[in-house]
Amino acid sequence: MIVVNSIRIPEQFVEVGSRWWKDTDDMLYALAKHGDLIIGTATTPCPEMVYTDKNDRNRKWYLTIWRKLLDDMASAIECIMKHCKSYERQFDTESIGYQLGCEDLQVMCQFADWAVEQVRALEADYNLKDWRV
C-alpha cells in the first residue's frame, strides 16, 4: 500500500509549480510553500467526507489533495498558454518572457502527466477509483 505522504515530487516540478499558483487555496501554493504535497499542507478534510478510521480518512484526504493538484495544474497550464500567446502577439518568439513561459508549459505538462500517474496509482492502491468527496 502506498503510504500517505510518501510520494516525493521531483524538484523540477516543484520549481515550475511554485511559479504558477494563483491563490493560497491552490495546491501549487502548498507545493511552493512546503516543497511537497502532504496532508499537513492542506486544510482539514471536508466535513462531508465519510471514513471508517483515521487511516481511511488520511488515505481519502491524501487522494483528495492530489486530485485538487490536478485541477490546479489544469488552470496553471491554461494560464501559461495565455502567457505564451500574449508574448507571441506583443513581441517575437525570441523574447525572454516567451521562452520562459513556453519552457514552463512543457515542464508543467510533464508534471501533469506524472501527477495523473500518481493519482491513478493512489486510486488503485486505496481502492478509491470511484470515490469522490
49-73 pLDDT tens trace: 788 888 998 999 999 999 999 999 9
27 part of a folded domain: no
Q: Which of 73, 74, 77 lies closest to 101 in space, CA to CA?
A: 77
pLDDT at 54: 86
7 part of a folded domain: no
pLDDT at 67: 95
28-42 pLDDT tens trace: 999 999 999 988 755
User: Is pLDDT at 80 greater than 80 in this prediction?
Assistant: yes
33 part of a folded domain: no
The verdict on pTM exceeding 0.75 is yes
Where would I find the H helices in the chain? Answer: 11-17, 27-34, 54-90, 96-125
Give residue 92's domain range: 56-125
| C-alpha to C-alpha distances, 112 to 58, 93, 99, 103, 105, nearest whole angstrom | 23, 25, 20, 14, 10
Residues 96, 76, 71, CA angle at the centre, nearest 5°?
A: 165
Q: How many CA atoms lie less than 13 Å away from 8 in the CB half-sphere?
A: 2
Domain count, the chain: 1
18 part of a folded domain: no
More confident residue, 90 or 30: 30
Residue 76's SS3 state is helix
